């Protein structure tokens, strides 16, 4: 009998193609927007999340404000932090502004950052060409530079910059590598930066102290304990002035970032779900029209022995059939829309099975909820009145 109901639903929907299509449209739009929104927001969140994790999931970020007497960390302080048990490496950053010159072309106010080899090892995906800053460069304070994407384009447009010599604040540096273009929104974009060994930077940028330092963790589960130890070192370095520095666990930042993103996507999906409810009302409306149109049919079926339950089942099935068909069309459109939008924005798409099942399940639920009342009305029709109505 269930199979029969499904077949009848199909027959009836095919008979009223235009009407069924218009009715389904509400569900289609609702499901499509829920899927597209969730997929895109999740894709963006994954993208940013992955990037942050690849860069700093196992990273503790130390930012030093300093005291009037001691404006930052010294090389020895950094070495002490490196000696903490759970730390595999540290990457200090000293930065300043400088002018960069190549064959008469001058770029003013370029960010020059002094970094060490750990920075490059932590993210092997940084380099576009050439080599990274290595330990030898650091030890002998070589005058070498790795240049950002925009800098390479502006100074060397079309030419290979590797091996060329550029002048930074009056001193000659050899370009040893170029960085990949960083896309999307990220605060640590290196497109407009020049990176030199940090030992060299300490000497030439006129900076004596390290202001920021990344410490890489061996085991993230011990992060809290490691942070305590680092704070101990910093307290001693800054005479127990806790306002002189900030220590962030990137893992915590990622966690809170991800929870904000999932809240955002739930909120957006909730708004889109309103259109599903509107679509459901459309289905209810169509089912009510259908019941009054088919009064005779209902009467006849009852006369032939259809129980009220059988009639109710048939109309509920029809309503579910409509809403689930709409849901599946909406699902396909939503995924397509997500792919198109993602291609335009430039993020990756993550289509999750659970979201899709949820959307189709939700549209089935809409069918049940909004089909219940019309189906009940049909099942309560008196067969005599129904047969008389012809």
Partner 1 sequence: MSEIVSMKNICKSYYLCDEEIKVLKHINLKVYKGEFISVLGPSGSGKTTLMNIIGCLDVPTSGKYILCGNDISEMNETELAVIRNKEIGFVFQSFFLLPRLTALQNVELPLVYSGLPQKERRGRAKEMLCRVGLADKMNNLPSQLSGGQQQRVAIARALVTEPSIILADEPTGALDQKTGADIIGYFERLNAEGRTIIMITHDINVARHAHRTVNILDGQLTEARA
Q: What is the dihedral of CA 304, 308, 310, 312, to 10 degrees?
A: 130
Q: In this complex, which beta carbon is closest to partner 1, that of residue 192 or of residue 297?
A: 297
Read off the DSSP letter of residue 213. Answer: E
Q: In this complex, which beta carbon is closest to partner 1, that of residue 307 or of residue 352?
A: 307
Min dist CB 319 to partner 1, Å, is 18
CA-closest candidate to residue 116, choices 138, 85, 142: 138
Min dist CB 5 to partner 1, Å, is 9
Min dist CB 292 to partner 1, Å, is 17
Dihedrals φ, ψ of 333, to 5°? -65, -40
Min dist CB 9 to partner 1, Å, is 12
Min dist CB 308 to partner 1, Å, is 5
Q: How far is the C-alpha of 314 from the C-alpha of 307, rounded, in Å?
A: 11
Q: In this complex, which beta carbon is closest to partner 1, that of residue 277 or of residue 310?
A: 310
CB 205 within 8 A of CB 94: yes
Q: In this complex, which beta carbon is closest to partner 1, that of residue 11 or of residue 357?
A: 11
Residues forming contacts to partner 1 in the complex (CB under 8 A) are 1, 3-4, 11-12, 15, 296-297, 300-310, 383-384, 387, 390
CA distances from 150 to 189, 193, 386 (A): 11, 8, 78
Q: In this complex, which beta carbon is closest to partner 1, that of residue 49 or of residue 383?
A: 383
Q: In this complex, which beta carbon is closest to partner 1, that of residue 59 or of residue 302?
A: 302
The number of CA neighbours under 13 Å toward the Cβ of 337 is 20
Min dist CB 315 to partner 1, Å, is 15
Q: In this complex, which beta carbon is closest to partner 1, that of residue 57 or of residue 376?
A: 376
Q: In this complex, which beta carbon is closest to partner 1, that of residue 10 or of residue 209?
A: 10
Tokens of 52: 């942050």
Q: In this complex, which beta carbon is closest to partner 1, that of residue 126 or of residue 386?
A: 386
CB 196 within 8 A of CB 145: yes
Min dist CB 303 to partner 1, Å, is 5
Q: In this complex, which beta carbon is closest to partner 1, that of residue 22 or of residue 303?
A: 303
Strand partners, 168: 100, 171
Min dist CB 332 to partner 1, Å, is 28
Give the containing element (helix H, strand E) for 254.
helix 250-293
CA-closest candidate to residue 66, choices 206, 189, 199, 207: 207
CB atoms within 10 A of CB 348: 11
- Cβ contacts of residue 63 below 8 Å, gap of 6+? 211, 212, 245, 246, 247, 248
- Cβ contacts of residue 316 below 8 Å, gap of 6+? 367, 368, 371, 372, 375
Min dist CB 11 to partner 1, Å, is 5
Tokens of 54: 């690849």
Min dist CB 383 to partner 1, Å, is 5
Q: How far is the C-alpha of 354 from the C-alpha of 46, rounded, in Å?
A: 16
Token pair 């002490």 in the structure block, residue? 80
Secondary structure percentages of the chain, helix, strand, coil, to 5: 60, 20, 20
């Amino acid at each position: 009998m269930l199979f029969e109901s499904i077949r009848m639903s199909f027959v009836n929907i095919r008979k009223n193609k235009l009407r069924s299509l218009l009715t389904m449209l509400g569900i289609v739009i609702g499901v499509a927007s829920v899927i597209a929104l969730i997929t895109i927001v999740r894709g963006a969140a994954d993208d940013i999340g992955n990037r942050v994790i690849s860069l700093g999931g196992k990273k503790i970020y130390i930012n030093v404000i300093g005291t009037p007497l001691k404006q930052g960390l010294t090389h020895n302080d950094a070495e002490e932090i490196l000696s903490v048990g759970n730390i595999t490496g540290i990457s200090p950053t000293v930065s300043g502004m400088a002018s960069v010159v190549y064959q008469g072309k001058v770029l003013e106010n370029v960010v020059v950052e002094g970094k060490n080899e750990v920075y490059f090892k932590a993210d092997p995906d940084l380099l576009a060409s050439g080599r990274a800053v290595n330990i030898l460069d650091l030890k002998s304070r070589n005058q070498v530079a790795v240049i950002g994407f925009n800098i390479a384009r502006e100074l060397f447009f079309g030419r290979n910059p590797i091996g060329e010599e550029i002048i930074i604040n009056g001193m000659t540096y050899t370009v040893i590598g170029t960085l990949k273009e960083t896309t999307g929104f990220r605060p640590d974009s290196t497109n407009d930066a020049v990176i030199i060994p940090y030992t060299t930077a300490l000497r030439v940028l006129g900076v004596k102290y390290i202001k920021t330092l990344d410490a890489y963790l061996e085991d993230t589960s011990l992060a809290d304990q490691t942070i305590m130890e680092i704070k101990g070192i910093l307290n001693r370095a800054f005479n127990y002035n806790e306002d002189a520095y900030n220590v962030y666990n990137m893992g915590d930042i990622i966690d809170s970032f991800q929870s904000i993103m999932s809240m955002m996507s739930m909120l957006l999906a909730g708004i889109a779900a309103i259109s599903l409810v509107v679509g459901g009302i459309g289905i209810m409306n169509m089912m009510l029209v259908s019941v009054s149109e088919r009064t005779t049919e209902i009467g006849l079926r009852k006369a032939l022995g259809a129980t009220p339950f059988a009639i109710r089942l048939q109309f509920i099935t029809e309503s579910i059939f409509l809403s689930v068909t709409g849901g599946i069309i909406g699902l396909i459109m939503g995924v397509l829309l997500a792919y198109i939008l993602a291609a335009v924005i430039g993020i990756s798409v993550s289509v999750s099975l659970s979201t899709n099942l949820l959307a189709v399940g939700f549209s089935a639920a809409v069918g049940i909820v909004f089909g219940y009342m019309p189906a009940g009305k049909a099942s309560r029709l008196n067969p005599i009145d129904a047969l008389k109505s012809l």
